[in-house]
Structure 1
Amino acid sequence: MLAWLWTRLSDGGPEVSISGRALRRFPGREVERLLRARVLIEHPKADSWSVCAHCDCGLDVRPIRQIGDELRACCPHDAAEDVVLDDGDLTRFGVDANRLAGQIGASGGLAGAVAAVVDGVWTIGSGPAGRMFMLCDDADRLETPGAILALKSAAAPRPLTVIAKEPEPALVLRLREAGIEVRALADVIKADREGVDRLILDDGRIPTGGVRLVLHRQGQFAVLDGRRLDLPPQMFALFRMLVERSVQRDPVLKAQEIEAQFQRTPREIVRDLRRALVTCGLTEKEVETLVGTVRSRGYRLGLAPSEVVIED
């Protein structure tokens, strides 16, 4: 859905309007999530419909009327040309480009705030190896005077990758010669097994392949297999302790340490952490594996040290 929305934004500009019917192709919970995040902004329902392409009625729009059980966009000349509508056709949504860019960066576990660099180009964060990523709504913007210098200055001294919809090969080559990597949107955003889009890069800087979990201490979130985990403060604090202990010689976080830190029974607070991880979208089986119990000792993260990256 993230890639589809960005493509619609690229094609239609900042005033793009999307119908509720068009959004039905995506998981309902993903649509609800983007509504809550104010990426999708609901507009007043449409009260008229476009005229037939071949019509000479002289109207700018067709009226919408309830006729029996049907909602119709009525043609004044020929009822056979009426369009049968449903409520989703009348519901309209706008897209907040800045928030959408932020969601795309977060889906790949990038750290850092979203910020406009030049018109239509946003920084969306940096990866574990320090590379800066930017998102562009129209590849032509990368060829405007001063754009390359502005992008490189914003990223300096870090290497830079710009993601754009269908960049021309000649542009990719020119920017590569200027020291900027360009990636096509379709190549870096992939749907996971639940149909949710994730930013996936094949260079090891985003958690794919060997690295599965990236913990962002300053941002207070983690990314597991491309899925962002936003936990309540106390749950994040416990999860952080588990992750930090997992890369030490003894990976077991002892029950006594948990109780001393949180003044709560370890079994109860770990139970709450597991529930919070399920709320983030993990299955109960995945959570039991991720936060494992070590009998008579405590708890440990179910990942190898090589699968974990910790970012400040």
Structure 2
Amino acid sequence: MLAWLWTRLSEGGARVAISGRALSRFPANDIERLLRAQVLIEERKADTWSVCAECDCGLDARPVEQLGDAFRACCPHDQAEDMILQKDDLRRFSVDVDRLVTRISASGNLGGAVARIAEGVWLMGDTPSGHAVVLSFDAENLVAPGAVMAIRAAVGPKPIMAIVHDLSLTIAVRLREVGVEPHEIAAVFKAGSDGVERLVLDPPSSVPRLVVKLSAQSITLDGRRLDLPTQMFALFRLLIEQSSKRDPVLKNQEIETQTGRPPNQIIRDLRKALVSCGLTSDQAKALVATVHARGYRLGLAQAEVVVEP
């Protein structure tokens, strides 16, 4: 739930209102716990609803009338367009961002104090391995002029991990160039045996399995150089870029749009090229894994991959 809340704030802004219906996907005990901790703050119930998509009534919002335990958002022109709402639809919650950051830090058992470093950027503490962890609404905040300098001033010589909602390959490369190891928040929240999601940060591998040098179009896997043709390298790069996102699957339609070829054919050619570089057929299929009815994904964890300019 914590990662979900952070994602909503990252996408909608720190002042975004969250409806009771949106929160209904989570256990009531979790919501009550965050209300008691004042991470979630219940606001005044909504008394209006958005107008019909094609309505020309001139109203900014529709009035809401109560009908027993239900509510109706009334359309002044067409009663058939009225919407029946439940009580949760009208509940509205805001989020105390600083308390949410503190809660995320506590879920990962990070040591040290939580502090806001810059606009939209927080220091959450240190991992047991000695990495300083920062959390940012937007990855762009971390590559803004002076951002890394401000983080360095706050954490000193410690190695730095950064957690964001949405991470592009370009920004991931830029952050690694300045010694910051980036992670998407969805990738570092994991459910424990009790079903509770917690922040889990493993230090990046000192010897990554896959190293990609973009300028040289060079790929090294477990010490073996993979010399791919230009078109195959471009496709492999798309897989790597997608692997750093919340949904690591490169969809079939995206492959066809980017390459102009049917996905199954060009993926078959990529695997053949990997076999020509010395991989077995099974290794090539594991590296470029099929996701049934959706597309393909890189068969390595994000921490096992390093992309260099």
Task: Name the TM-score class by shorter chain.
Answer: 0.5 to 0.7
TM-score (normalised: structure 1): 0.63
CA contact (8 A) 2:164 2:185 kept: yes
Q: Distance in 2 between matches of 1:55 and 1:10?
A: 31
**Gaps (5+ residues) in structure 2?**
206-309
| 1:46 aligned counterpart, secondary structure | coil
Deviation at 1:120, TM superposition (A): 0.3
1:111 matched residue in structure 2: 111
1:21 matched residue in structure 2: 21
Q: Give the aligned residue type for 1:136.
A: S
2:76 matched residue in structure 1: 76
CA contact (8 A) 1:27 1:195 kept: no
Q: Give the aligned residue type for 2:168.
A: E
| 1:203 aligned counterpart, secondary structure | coil
CA contact (8 A) 1:117 1:151 kept: yes
CA contact (8 A) 1:30 1:196 kept: no
Distance 1:189 1:79, change over 3 A: same
Q: Distance in 1 between matches of 2:187 and 2:123?
A: 18
2:93 matched residue in structure 1: 93
Q: Give the aligned residue type for 1:94.
A: S
Q: Distance in 1 between matches of 2:53 and 2:174?
A: 42
Runs of 4+ in 1 over 6 A off after TM superposition: none
Percent identity, aligned pairs only, is: 55
| 2:56 aligned counterpart, secondary structure | coil
Q: Distance in 2 between matches of 1:164 and 1:51?
A: 34
1:278 matched residue in structure 2: none
| 1:183 aligned counterpart, secondary structure | strand
Q: Give the aligned residue type for 1:19.
A: S
Q: Verify: 1:188 aligned to 2:175, yes or no.
A: no
Bigger shift: 62-71 or 37-46? 62-71
Q: Give the aligned residue type for 2:192.
A: D
TM-score (normalised: structure 2): 0.64
1:201 matched residue in structure 2: 201
1:281 matched residue in structure 2: none
Q: Give the aligned residue type for 1:134.
A: V
Deviation at 1:68, TM superposition (A): 5.5
CA contact (8 A) 1:65 1:73 kept: yes
Q: Give the aligned residue type for 1:114.
A: V
Q: Distance in 2 between matches of 1:193 and 1:83?
A: 41
Deviation at 1:69, TM superposition (A): 5.5
CA contact (8 A) 2:69 2:87 kept: no
Q: Distance in 1 between matches of 2:150 and 2:36?
A: 33
Q: What is the CA deviation profile of residues 210-244 of structure 1, one whole-angstrom value per residue up to 9, with x for unaligned ones?
A: xxxxxxxxxxxxxxxxxxxxxxxxxxxxxxxxxxx
Distance 1:149 1:67, change over 3 A: same
Q: Give the aligned residue type for 1:64.
A: V
Cα RMSD of the aligned pairs, angstroms, is 1.6
Q: Verify: 1:159 aligned to 2:159, yes or no.
A: yes
| 1:111 aligned counterpart, secondary structure | coil
1:251 matched residue in structure 2: none
Q: Give the aligned residue type for 2:99.
A: R
2:264 matched residue in structure 1: none
1:3 matched residue in structure 2: 3
CA contact (8 A) 2:143 2:174 kept: no
Deviation at 1:193, TM superposition (A): 4.2
1:171 matched residue in structure 2: 171
Q: Distance in 1 between matches of 2:180 and 2:86?
A: 47
2:39 matched residue in structure 1: 39
2:135 matched residue in structure 1: 135
Q: Give the aligned residue type for 2:190.
A: K
Q: Distance in 2 between matches of 1:55 and 1:127?
A: 54
| 1:65 aligned counterpart, secondary structure | strand
**Gaps (5+ residues) in structure 1?**
206-312
Distance 1:27 1:68, change over 3 A: closer
Deviation at 1:148, TM superposition (A): 1.4
2:12 matched residue in structure 1: 12
Q: What is the CA deviation profile of residues 188-225 of structure 1, one whole-angstrom value per residue up to 9, with x for unaligned ones?
A: 012334442200123399xxxxxxxxxxxxxxxxxxxx
CA contact (8 A) 2:131 2:203 kept: no
2:268 matched residue in structure 1: none
Q: Distance in 1 between matches of 2:85 and 2:98?
A: 32
Distance 1:148 1:69, change over 3 A: closer
Deviation at 1:152, TM superposition (A): 1.7
Q: Distance in 2 between matches of 1:29 and 1:91?
A: 17
| 1:29 aligned counterpart, secondary structure | helix
Q: Distance in 2 between matches of 1:24 and 1:199?
A: 22
Distance 1:135 1:19, change over 3 A: same
| 1:148 aligned counterpart, secondary structure | helix
